[in-house]
A and B are shown apart, each in its own frame.
Chain A
Amino acid sequence: MLKRLEPVPAGGADKEDEGLEFDFEGTRISAAPGDTVAAALMLAGIRTTRSTPASGASRAPYCLMGSCFECLMEIDGVPNRQACMVAVRPGMVVRRQAGAARLALTGGPEGGL
């Protein structure tokens, strides 16, 4: 299991840049400043972050440096994003990437990027 050496700063209206929280499949996840989505999820104890399009096998972040593409997730409605390269922003909505991406067939191009 993974744990943090330093506690996550508590959120509060008077503190800017602190208390980063986002939604992961209905669960609120607390993050620290500087966290990527992948790191925040790993340190929150989330073990599996996607299933593969080839066989459906479970996968999780592997290299954390943008190279392996194992951490692909759906972030704010956009599929197949590298969770280790995306900084947490408050209120983000993050989901596991389930197999191949679903192409958004409606809405303008800006809706999917």
Chain B
Amino acid sequence: MEDLGTRELVIAGGGLVGMAVGVGALSLGASVLAFDAGDTSLRASRGNFGLIWGQSKGARGRDYAAWTQRAIAAWPAFQDEIRELTGIDTGLRTGAGLHLCLSEEEFDARSRLIQKIAGYGFPDNDARMIRRDEVRSLLPGIGPDVVGASFSTQDGDCHSLALYRGLAEAYSRLGGALKTAQPVLGITPSGSGYRVTTPEFSVWSPRVLIAAGLGTNALARPFGFPDVVIGQRGQILVTERLQPFLDVVTSGLRQLPEGTVLIGDTKEEGEHDRATSSGISYLARRAARAFPAIAHARVVRAWAALRVLTPDGDPVYDESPTHPGIFVASTHSGVTLASAHRGPLAHWLMGGQRPPEFAAFSARRFT
């Protein structure tokens, strides 16, 4: 086993969360090493739908809405930083984010959610419910079942795979070390810090961030954390490349810059495992009801990827109650929140101020 010496921060997990925090810590001047799992590990970062989305965040409380607002506000500068470092355009596109409702029941439920979050009074959140005719003026071609939608000009999407690649490349440009195919096997207290071991390497650090998707629970348990991650598969369909035809973003159907269309579960916090023919079929039928012309498009892949949900859907950012320096970060919103992970989260990990929202994101709420 090779001893890699010491680092100021070691990250278990090279996904969207780990890389965003890594970029933030590196730009504060810290030395950082990240370990990542293998090529076929279940990766939420590859299955992300890619929305930049605020309108529905915060059903359980104001703090998640506040944290999301901070992240969205920071996104343009964050995108510029990635572009300057790597030349990669992460494709931020906001101005029209729609969640289509296919029945009056869906519309009513959505209205209550949007109203509650509007009640927090964030000035940039202009989400409101609109009826069918207004939806159609924004998105001609909706199907007869669309009764209305929630709509926000603050919301949109980015090219999430470009973001993932851009973060990994920015991390490396800033001098971050990434060891792939090296899942973390153990984190053990050693002196005033911790020794982190993988199949081939070991490294010492005063600070360890566990951001390892499904692997998070097992790594965090010895440090007094309750289980914070529920693995759940969400399904996405991806079409062939198509000429540009869709310039607004909906929560279940959006077109990427290269022309492919992503079709996802419109339940933003899904409750089912649909990595099956019937799951594919369910998504296909729902997409065709929302936007009938999409029935013509060819589906190239059905993508069942891990969705990293916490038990209540809100993020977890916490330090171990028993072992100072061991941190856990977990959220299924690794795209929207990437800018906040790069900023305030990384700052806190490296000894800066704890963001005020984080009181609500403690893992202790699950004990």
Tell me, yes or no, whether A binds B.
yes
Which of the 9-residue segments A25-33, A40-48, A87-95, A97-105 touches chain B?
Answer: A97-105
Contact of B240 among A80, A109, A112 (CB under 8 A): A80
Give the docked Cα–Cα distance between A53 and B243 (Å).
9
Interface residues on A, range: 10 to 19
Does A13 make an interface contact (CB < 8 A)?
Answer: no
| 0/1 string, B246-258, CB within 8 A of A gives 1 | 0000000000001
Report whether A100 and B242 are in contact in the complex, using a CB–CB cutoff of 8 Å.
Answer: yes
**A109 with B296, Cβ < 8 A, contacts A53-B259, A100-B259 known:** yes
Does A65 make an interface contact (CB < 8 A)?
Answer: no
Chain A min CB distance to B296 (Å): 3
Residues of B within 8 Å of A, CB-based: how many? Answer: 17
Nearest-neighbor residue (CB-CB) of B243 within chain A: A102
Does B241 make an interface contact (CB < 8 A)?
Answer: yes
Does A1 make an interface contact (CB < 8 A)?
Answer: no
Report whether B297 and A103 are in contact in the complex, using a CB–CB cutoff of 8 Å.
Answer: yes
Report whether B141 and A105 are in contact in the complex, using a CB–CB cutoff of 8 Å.
Answer: yes
Report whether A112 and B298 are in contact in the complex, using a CB–CB cutoff of 8 Å.
Answer: no
Give the docked Cα–Cα distance between A89 and B115 (Å).
58
Report whether B241 and A109 are in contact in the complex, using a CB–CB cutoff of 8 Å.
Answer: no
Report whether B242 and A101 are in contact in the complex, using a CB–CB cutoff of 8 Å.
Answer: yes
Report whether A53 and B296 are in contact in the complex, using a CB–CB cutoff of 8 Å.
Answer: no
Which of the 9-residue segments B91-99, B129-137, B286-294 touches chain A?
Answer: B286-294
Does A113 make an interface contact (CB < 8 A)?
Answer: yes
Known: A101-B241, A113-B296. 7 other contacts (CB 8 A): A100-B242, A100-B243, A101-B243, A105-B293, A109-B292, A109-B296, A111-B296
B residues whose Cβ falls under 8 Å from a Cβ of A: 140-141, 240-243, 245, 258-259, 288, 292-298
